[in-house]
Structures are given as C-alpha cells and as structure tokens.
C-alpha cells in the first residue's frame, strides 16, 4: 500500500504560499493606476518582492492567535466586573490616569486602524499589504476593547461619560488627536515612518511601562488586561516599522534624506505627545513603577540608541532633537502637572498636590531639578489651598501651532524662561513651543496653518454651547465652553480631595469590608 506521509509545511514555505502567492501583476490596468500613491513622496522602490515579514505570520495563524487573545481578555473583563475590580486599585486618584488614557487613546487606535487599512490597500507589494491589513485589524480590536473597558469605569467615576464628544473638542485632547490626524494626512510612506517606526518602535515602550506595568502595580486588573492584550500585537507592529525603514533604505540611496527628515520630525512629534505620559508616571500612579526619567534612560537612551547605531550602516543619524530631549527629561513631568493643576476647572479629571512622601520621592528621583524649581511651586500651591485660595490659572493658554500643547516648556538651557518661537506665513504670525516644532512648521506651513487649535476656536466663538448667546449681558464664556464640552465644573474636574469620586470610592470600598 502506498503510504504517503503528509508533511507539514515549513514556516517559510507556508508564508510563501499563503501570503506572497496571493498577489498578482495587473494585466489590463496600469500598475501606477492601481497604486496611485506610491510616487509623490519621492520614495523609490525597485523591487517589492524583496520584502519579507520576519514573523512570517499567515492569515490562518493570525486569526487563531487573535481569537485566543480575545478569549483571554473577555474572560478577565467579566471576572473584573463580577468582582467590582475597580475597588481594588491602590487609591482612587489612580482612576484619573485611566480617565486621561481612555479619553485620548481609543480614538488614536481608530485612526491607526484607518491609516493601516489605507496602507493595506496602497502598498505596492503583497508582503507589506498583508502585514498592514493585519495591523489594521489589530488597531480596530484595540479601539473596541478600550471602548468596552471605558464602561468598567465610567459607570462609577466622573469625567469620561462622553469620551468621543470630548475627544473632538476638549483642549488637551487635541494634542493626541492632531498627532494622528497629522500622520493620517501624510503619504503612505511617511505615515508608516510616523506611526510604525517613530511611534511604535522608538516610543511605544515608554507608553506601556506606565500603562500596563503601572496598572498591574496599582491593582487595576481591567486595564492591565486590555493593555497586555493590545501590547501583544505591538511586537509585530514594531517589527513592521523597522522592516519598512530597512526596506526603504535598501531600495535606493536617494531615499535616505527623505527618511531621515521624517524620522527627525516624527521622533520630536512623538516625544512631545509623551509629555502627558511623563506626567502620569511621575504624578498620577499612586504606586510608582519608575520615574519618567528612568524610563526614558532605559527605553530611549539605551534601547533607542541601539537602534540608531544599527541603522547607522544605512547613513541614518540620531535626530537633532535628542539633545534637547535629554535636557528636558528632568523637567517635563513637573511642568506638565503644574500646568494641569492650574488648569483644574477646564479638564475632565482631578488633580492634587503630591503628598509629602510623593514630594520626597520626586526629590530623590530628580535631585538636580525638583527641589530647586518645582517643590517650591507645590509648597506655594499648598499654602494657597490652605488659605482657601486654591491656585487657578484663569487664562486660556497660547498653544503651539504644531504640537498643540500649551506653551509650558522652558528654554532647554534655562528652566526659568518659557520657550517661545514665532514664524510668519502669508502675513500671519504663528507660535511654537520649541525650535523643533517651528522647524516642522517652516517645512510645511500650508499643512500646519490648517490646525484646529482649541484656544483659537474658543476665542473665535466656535466653542459655545448651542443656544447660548455671547452678546447676552450675563454670558459666561467659560461656563458655556464647559457645557459645549459636556463637562460639569467641580464634579468632573477640580481637586480630587472632596470630590464625588473620592467619597464614592471610600464608601464603596467600605461596603466591601463591612456589613453596614
């Protein structure tokens, strides 16, 4: 009898059959009509077939592993809800870190989905098409699981009852929103450098350390779980980012200056975006995993530099902005938290003055700067609060035209001086937080003059609640803007001490340990 043994396909063979062989050359349409976006950025690709996905993940395995991840995730989310998991967090102040995350990130995931879906269609070879399509589905999954996770918290805590509405309107949320919209309006190659390389590869580790490890450390099983589930896709995304950059650089030496310019731009854009993460790590996690500065040193200075050392063989240089970032690591989180503290009536989360222990921790982690520049500010805030004159900045801040962050950063070499840059375009003045944001603007002014800056929009009268009459004698502009954002001053924001969140958490936690 003929016993034919059915040999299992090797990974490389399977990848060839189930990915590469899915493509075809068009016969009755011109290639440039099928892929119309590949030329205008100036990137030259000579042979799309030399691309290979190092994970060699085929669609059948993809679905199998993704289904497994979802099963694990939803089992834990159910358990979290059945056990009132939100009451196990270290301290209810922690929930405010989640408010920031859940207000900002689901919309980013959705935009990442849109960006990669577009690339899945427009990349010129089947290898990157399939990898981008997988990432597009991943990002949709991240968006959905995060939206599900919002309901673990917004049933109990204030400020995130209408995250999508706020994401499109609230001042600080325009920072992440405009970052991704900037990327999505780039050509396909710049998009993948922006998101796949600069954001996913160079910076993503700085995000998951505070969110995932930080959530675990602070007893938040729900967040740890969706964080890990999303993160498990990230290694594949990072690898795609790195492969794309190598591929572009290997295809044609003329690609180098274009790629370098994008790396410089998007490293800076990403680092500016992470200002808010710096603040969360140093101020919003009651149990600290590590300081922002430490995370920066491990994941950027050590790991990021290994990457740039590796890419040096293609002629890639470390972005110029790294010099400035090095100087800012001692200041960033403190400048951001003091800004949010002072802007308390205009946010969707609570702020607080760090406790004495926490101030000491900050002094120890930032020996060169904290006692000298920042501790006195918190002591001043505390004195004011004790006198019943809680410090609030009543003004709308000037925003950087590029990163959209309020002008809160100081000069790299003088932490007592706010940095301020200005360019003119078509007779109008534009303001920037730094040389690097200014430089980005000066390279593409036509793009960045279009920015929707929340403060400008408020001042132009475009952000008042429907039906309010700005010419009425008793018109209160700030109250009207809050209504437009769907926020209730004092309930959704302001001091954590004395808040409804604080009282509810204490009462509910009490109920879990007593019978009354």
Q: Give strand pairing partners of 432.
A: 421
Under the rule (CB under 5 A), what is the footprint of Fe ion? 109, 139, 142, 400, 402-403, 433, 437
Choose, by CB under 8 A, the member of 147, 184, 307, 318 that binds another protein: 307
DSSP 185-201: TS-HHHHIIIIIIIIII
Choose, by CB under 8 A, the member of 19, 149, 158, 239 that binds another protein: 239
Q: Where are the alpha helices (DSSP H) in 255-291?
A: 255-273, 275-279
Q: Which among 412, 460, 409, 407 is positioned nearest to 430, based on CA atoms?
A: 407
Site for another protein, residues 30 to 89, rule: CB under 8 A? 54-57, 61, 65, 68-69, 72
Distances (CA, A) of 463 to 201, 441, 468: 37, 25, 10
Site for another protein, residues 12 to 31, rule: CB under 8 A? 12
Site for another protein, residues 168 to 207, rule: CB under 8 A? 204-205
Q: Are the C-beta atoms of residues 157 and 99 closer than 8 Å to each other?
A: yes
The smaller minimum CB distance to another protein, of residues 12 and 31, is found at 12
Minimum distance, C-beta of residue 324 to another protein, in the bound complex (Å)? 23
> Segment contacting another protein (CB under 8 A): 37-45, 224-232, 266-274, 342-350?
224-232
The smaller minimum CB distance to another protein, of residues 136 and 399, is found at 136
Tell me the two tokens of residue 283.
Answer: 């101020």
Q: Are the C-beta atoms of residues 182 and 115 closer than 8 Å to each other?
A: no
The smaller minimum CB distance to another protein, of residues 69 and 447, is found at 69
The smaller minimum CB distance to another protein, of residues 310 and 469, is found at 310
Residue 208 found at the interface with another protein (CB under 8 A): yes
Q: What is the rounded CA–CA span in Å between residue 38 and residue 187?
A: 8
Q: What is the rounded CA–CA span in Å between residue 134 and residue 112?
A: 12
Choose among Fe ion, another protein, none what residue 451 binds, the Cβ cut-off being 5 to 8 Å by kind: none
Q: What per-residue string of b and e applies to 282-303 under the rule 16 or more CB within 10 Å gives b?
A: bbbbbebbbbbbebbeebbeee
Q: What is the rounded CA–CA span in Å between residue 162 and residue 154?
A: 9
**SS3 for 408?**
coil
Choose, by CB under 8 A, the member of 31, 164, 309, 503 that binds another protein: 309
The smaller minimum CB distance to Fe ion, of residues 277 and 403, is found at 403
Residue 211 found at the interface with another protein (CB under 8 A): no
List contacts with another protein (CB under 8 A). 10-12, 54-57, 61, 65, 68-69, 72, 204-205, 208-209, 212-214, 216-217, 224, 228, 231-232, 234-236, 238-239, 242, 289, 302-303, 305-307, 309-310, 312-313
């Amino acid at each position: 009898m003929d016993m034919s043994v059915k040999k299992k396909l090797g990974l490389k063979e399977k990848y060839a059959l189930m990915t590469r062989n899915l493509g075809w050359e068009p016969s009755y349409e011109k290639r440039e009509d099928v892929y119309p976006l590949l030329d205008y950025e100036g990137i030259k690709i000579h042979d799309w077939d030399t691309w290979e996905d190092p994970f060699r993940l085929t669609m059948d395995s993809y679905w199998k592993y993704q289904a497994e991840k979802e099963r694990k995730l939803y089992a834990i989310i159910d358990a979290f809800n059945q056990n009132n998991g939100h009451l196990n967090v270290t301290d209810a102040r922690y929930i405010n870190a989640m408010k920031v995350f859940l207000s900002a990130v689901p919309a980013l995931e959705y935009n990442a989905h849109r960006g990669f879906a577009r690339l899945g269609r427009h990349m010129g070879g089947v290898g990157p098409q399939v990898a981008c399509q997988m990432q597009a589905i991943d990002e949709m999954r991240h968006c959905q699981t995060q939206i599900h996770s919002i309901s673990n918290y917004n049933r109990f805590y204030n400020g995130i009852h209408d995250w999508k509405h706020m994401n499109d309107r609230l001042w600080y949320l325009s920072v992440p929103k405009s970052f991704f919209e900037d990327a999505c309006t780039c050509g396909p190659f710049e998009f993948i450098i922006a998101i796949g390389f600069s954001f996913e590869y160079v910076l993503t580790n700085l995000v998951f350390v505070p969110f995932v490890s930080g959530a675990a450390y602070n007893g938040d099983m729900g967040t740890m779980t969706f964080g890990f589930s999303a993160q498990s896709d990230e290694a594949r995304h990072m690898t795609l980012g790195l492969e794309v950059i190598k591929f572009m650089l290997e295809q044609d030496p003329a690609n180098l200056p274009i790629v370098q310019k994008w790396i410089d731009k998007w490293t800076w854009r990403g680092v500016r975006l992470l200002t808010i993460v710096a603040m969360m790590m140093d101020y919003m996690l009651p149990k600290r995993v590590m300081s922002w500065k430490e995370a920066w040193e491990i994941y950027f200075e050590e790991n990021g530099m290994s990457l740039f050392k590796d890419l040096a063989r293609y002629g890639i240089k470390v972005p110029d902005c790294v010099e400035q970032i090095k100087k800012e690591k001692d200041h960033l989180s403190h400048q951001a938290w003091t800004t949010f503290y002072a802007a308390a009536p205009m946010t969707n989360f609570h702020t607080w003055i760090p406790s004495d222990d926490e101030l000491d921790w900050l002094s120890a982690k930032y020996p060169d700067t904290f006692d000298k520049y920042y501790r006195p500010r918190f002591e001043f805030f505390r004195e004011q609060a004790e006198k019943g004159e809680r410090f609030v900045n009543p003004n709308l801040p000037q925003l950087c035209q590029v990163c959209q962050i309020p002008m809160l950063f100081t000069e790299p070499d003088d932490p007592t001086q706010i940095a301020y840059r200005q360019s003119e375009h078509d007779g109008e003045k534009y303001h920037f937080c730094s040389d690097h944001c200014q430089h980005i603007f000066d390279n593409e002014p036509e793009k960045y003059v279009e920015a929707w800056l929340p403060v400008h929009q408020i001042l132009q009268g475009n952000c008042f609640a429907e039906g309010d009459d700005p010419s009425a004698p008793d018109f209160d502009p700030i109250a009207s803007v809050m209504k437009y954002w769907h926020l209730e001053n004092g309930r959704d924001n302001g001091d954590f001490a004395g808040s409804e969140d604080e009282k509810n958490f204490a009462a509910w936690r009490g109920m879990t340990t007593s019978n009354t």
